[in-house]
Structure 1
Amino acid sequence: MGFDQYHEPPEELSAQTRTFARMCANLTEEAEAIGWYEQRISVEPDPASRAIMYNSLGEEFKHFSMELEYLFRAKPVWRETARGILFQDGDIVANGEASEAAVDSGTAPADAPQAGAMDAMDTSLGIGSLKGPTL
């Protein structure tokens, strides 16, 4: 079975890189699903059906956000760059250029995470165990 998500031979990639590639693929799929739901909602005439689709869209937003957070934790420089762009007022492109320049010059915010190995970071999404209570 082949996987198009790899651009290099998978057996030559570390487990960490393969996991990162999987999460990137998941993020892409969630973004596609968000686009599909937006299109379907915009043309659906039945209010009950539209409400169900809108509810499903909210799940896709959640999944996309969780996957993006995982990737930010895996690549702190990505988070540093995003901090200067996301949730900022003003011109998006100008914010992007300024953020990239700050990261490149080493003047990113002092509270930005430092680059480090993914396996040394806490990848918990803060949702607790899905196994249930331990006895």
Structure 2
Amino acid sequence: MSEYHEPEEKLTEEAMEYHRIIKSVMEELEAVDWYNQRAAATNDPDIKAIVEHNRDEEIEHACMGLEWLRRNYPVWDEMLRTFLFTSAKITEVEEEGESEAEGETAVKAPASSQSLGLGNMRGGE
């Protein structure tokens, strides 16, 4: 049975690559969850350290896949730039972005910034 929802012969190479990276990110996130549960459940500090290390490696892998999506698909780039590294409530970030486009300001690190998203620490705008 195919892993695709549509007949494989109808899919472009681009669609198959997109599917490949989406599946990879999903698998990495699933592994993150499994390792996190193991860390929470164990009473052995050595096991906890090992599975936490493994969990964090899987987070790295998931982020690499997300970065590939961001670099290759403009909507991913737009959405990640909208929602990541903001200080507003997550459910309100989109509305703030729309307000920003209309001339209002929101606390958000510039997408190209190496800032930690702390905003201007000097007290000015």
Q: Under a length normalisation based on structure 1, what TM-score does the superposition of the two structures give?
A: 0.68
Q: CA deviation at 1:3?
A: 3.0
Distance (whole Å) between structure 2 residues aligned to residue 64 and residue 35 of structure 1: 12
Q: Answer yes or no: is 1:71 the counterpart of 2:81.
A: no
Distance (whole Å) between structure 1 residues aligned to residue 50 and residue 56 of structure 2: 10
Q: Which runs of 5+ in 1 are unaligned?
A: 103-110, 113-135
Distance (whole Å) between structure 1 residues aligned to residue 65 and residue 79 of structure 2: 17
Higher relative contact order, structure no. (Cα contacts within 8 Å, ≥ 6 residues apart): 1
Distance (whole Å) between structure 2 residues aligned to residue 49 and residue 65 of structure 1: 24
Structure-2 residue corresponding to 1:126: none
Aligned CA-pair RMSD: 2.1
Q: Answer yes or no: is 1:57 the counterpart of 2:25.
A: no
Q: Aligned partner of 1:7: which letter?
A: H
Distance (whole Å) between structure 1 residues aligned to residue 11 and residue 93 of structure 2: 34
Q: Which runs of 5+ in 2 are unaligned?
A: 100-109, 112-125
Q: CA deviation at 1:97?
A: 4.2
Aligned length: 102
**Identical aligned pairs, as a percentage?**
37
Q: Under a length normalisation based on structure 2, what TM-score does the superposition of the two structures give?
A: 0.73
Q: SS at 2:22's partner residue?
A: helix
Distance (whole Å) between structure 2 residues aligned to residue 74 and residue 67 of structure 1: 11
